[in-house]
Amino acid sequence: MTGDSEDPNADVQYHLEVGPGDVADAVLLPGNPERVDKVTALWDDHEAVASHREYRTATGSYDDTPISVTSTGIGSPSATIAVEELARVGVDTMIRVGSCGAIQPAADVGDLVITTGAVRQEGTSDEYVRADYPATADGEVVSALVAAAERLDHTYHTGITMSADSFYAGQGRPGFEGFEAAGSDALIAELQAANVTNVEMEASAILTVASVYGLRAGAVCSVYANRTTGEFRTEGESRAAETASLAVALLARMDEVKREAGTDRWHAGLSL
């Protein structure tokens, strides 16, 4: 048999169609491809790199720091493909920039939620590692996102995120013609009692796979809906993108300070 064969280690990646040198060390991961333009509008400059299926990639700079963005589509399977293929071209830091539903009353529509860890209610990460392996955000990424939100004066919350595979049944919403999955009526109350802050569809897989591969990852999402009040508005996505972009610049400075101090980890004894 002749012809091309699939090579997952090829320079140009199969789904993203990016290769070494096309992207920066740090990449933002929005779900919706339309958000790529909204992200890059905040940067100093940018150039489109690739567009294939749900994956749109652009590279540029923010605050004189190299940065890229790749959309991942909806859900953990496609988001994990992005993590895999970006890692293969040298990316070491990834930050999900998305939207979410808050399930605690303190998080208003338009606020930001910075994920510290996640409930793995999606199935993709189970294919990488045992179910009791934690989905945790990298501490340096969390610190940079918090610092960025503070500097930009954006209202934010930190906490545990639940990631589901389904927007409807998996998040306790009724399905077609009022269908209710078993246990869905109690899901939100159980998560609230466990002090979970928000629900979305990608963070836990991104965090888990990044941890398995020794990469830095985090997530910041704008609250589109509050499930306790019933309020819904598509608001705050530019704040999430701005916070994540500034966080990348802060991470670059943190890395420089670490090198000067001769340490591998950022800690409270170091200052920017």
The CA radius of gyration of the chain, in Å to the nearest whole number, is 18
Locate tokens 């004894």: which residue?
269
Q: Which candidate in 17, 84, 173, 235 is catalytic?
A: 173
Q: Tokens standing for 164?
A: 């589901």
* Alpha-carbon gap, residue 68 to 94, rounded angstroms: 10
Q: Which candidate in 85, 202, 237, 242 is catalytic?
A: 85
253 is catalytic: no
- Residues present in the chain in total: 272
Q: Which candidate in 35, 120, 227, 239 is catalytic?
A: 227
Annotate 55-94 with b (16+ C-beta within 10 A) or e (fewer).
bbbbbbbbeebebbbbbbbebbbbbbbbbbbbbbbebbbb
> Which residues, listed in sequence order, are joined to residue 159 by a DSSP beta bridge?
115
Show the CA angle centred on residue 26, arms to residues 20 and 31, nearest 5°: 100
Q: Tokens standing for 170?
A: 């998996």
Q: Which candidate in 15, 17, 231, 235 is catalytic?
A: 15
15 is catalytic: yes
* Alpha-carbon gap, residue 165 to 159, rounded angstroms: 20
Locate tokens 């652009």: which residue?
58
Q: Are the C-beta atoms of 115 and 207 separated by less than 8 Å? A: yes
85 is catalytic: yes
Q: 3-class DSSP state for residue 133?
A: coil
> Which residues, listed in sequence order, are joined to residue 135 by a DSSP beta bridge?
118
* Alpha-carbon gap, residue 169 to 268, rounded angstroms: 42
Asked whether the CA dihedral 240, 79, 140, 28 is positive or negative, the reply is negative
Residues assigned a catalytic role = 15, 85, 173, 227
